[in-house]
Amino acid sequence: MKKLWAPWRMEYIQDSVIPGGKECIFCIGNNSANDRERLILHRGETAFVMMNKYPYNNGHLLIAPYRHIADFNGLTDEEFLEIQQLLGVCIEAMKGCMHPHGFNIGMNLGQVAGAGVEDHIHYHILPRWSGDTNFLPVFGEVKVISEALEATYDKLKEQLVKLMQEAG
């Protein structure tokens, strides 16, 4: 049997099985000093962009309102508009530095729909490439992430800053 070493997964496994007491990962507060460590790429007026710490693919992004809310229809017009605008900017940022062939964009509402954090709504944006699916996830239940989170963060952060400056 061959082994694929992924020691960073232990934190994910422990986080998944240790019940209670955890803060909401999307209630990020106002302190931006540790944004890189927390993988927060952009802070807007009512919503923000962060990378998924346990991504399905390189560049797996999450967009959420600051307000802790589970009801999609409870978003204010301002929150809804900014989230939609951030979706567009994130797509352009990924196109500019990661060159994906397509995207999966979605929101899981409720635990039965796959929401890992069901009390704070958030969108997922996943860049996709031709050939990014192979036998490993299908037969081996293993997904290969081919770039360090920090390297992906730096590329996306630079691209997002550039796009936000161009937008004014």
Sheet containing 40-43, strands listed edge to edge, beginning at the edge strand earlier in sequence: 40-43, 47-51, 61-65, 123-128, 102-106
The phi-psi region of residue 12 (left if phi > 0; otherwise alpha if psi is between -120 and 50; otherwise beta) is alpha
Q: Whole-structure pTM over 0.85, yes or no?
A: no
For 15, residues 6+ apart whose C-beta sits below 8 A from its C-beta are 22
pLDDT by residue for the chain (168 residues), tens only, comes to 455 566 666 665 555 444 455 678 899 988 899 999 999 999 999 999 999 988 878 899 999 999 999 999 999 999 999 999 999 999 999 999 999 999 999 988 888 877 778 889 999 999 998 876 654 454 445 556 677 888 899 999 999 999 999 887
Instruction: State the DSSP code for 120.
Output: S
Is residue 42 flagged as an active site residue?
no
**C-alpha distances in Å from residue 5, one per residue of 9, 17, 52, 131, 132:** 9, 20, 20, 22, 20
Residue closest to 162 by CA, chosen among 113, 57, 58, 90: 90
Strands (E) across the chain are located at: 40-43, 47-51, 61-65, 102-106, 123-128
* Side-chain-side CA neighbours of residue 65 (13 Å): 22
Domains present along the chain, CATH in parentheses: 28-167 (3.30.428.10)
Which one of 68, 101, 120, 122 is the catalytic residue?
Answer: 122
The answer to whether the CB of 60 falls within 8 A of the CB of 156 is no
Helices 149-167 & 77-97, crossing angle to 10 degrees? Answer: 120
pLDDT of residue 35: 95
